[in-house]
Amino acid sequence: MANQILVCKTADLAPGEMKRVEHGEQALAVYNVEGTFYVTDDRCTHGLSNLSEGVLIGTEIECSMHFGTFDVTTGEPTGSPCSIALRTYKVDMRGDEVFVDID
């Protein structure tokens, strides 16, 4: 069975918002894209920046350090200088709670 953690309630994030969630030494970014929740690593794969401090535009997160972008639905880089994909996590909705598999 997967190791799941509660990352937020649906009311915690309006559409277009994101937040950082820490679990031990792991930092995750949780995104609400038009009512659908996605979770990636919070650390940009290009630089030492937290993606949760960036700008969410549709399904893309723009890093605040070098302005590269990633698709939060797949983790794939979509804009230079980012070239290494983000780790994404499986989201499990239970009522108004958002859980994520961290294994």
Q: What is the mean pLDDT of residues 13-42?
A: 96
Per-residue confidence at 103, pLDDT binned at 50, 70, 90? Answer: confident
Q: What is the mean pLDDT of residues 10-30?
A: 96
Domain containing residue 47: 4-101
pLDDT tens-digit profile of 43-85?
Answer: 999 888 999 999 999 999 999 999 999 999 999 999 999 999 9
- Rounded Cα distance between 57 and 47, Å, is 20
Number of domains comprising the chain: 1
Question: Which residues make beta-bridge pairs with 75?
Answer: none
Give one word for 49, left, alpha or beta, with left for phi > 0 and alpha for psi -120 to 50. beta
* Per-residue pLDDT at 90: 97
Q: What is the pTM of this model?
A: 0.94
Q: What is the CATH number of the domain that holds 45?
A: 2.102.10.10
Nearest to 44 by CA among 74, 13, 87: 87
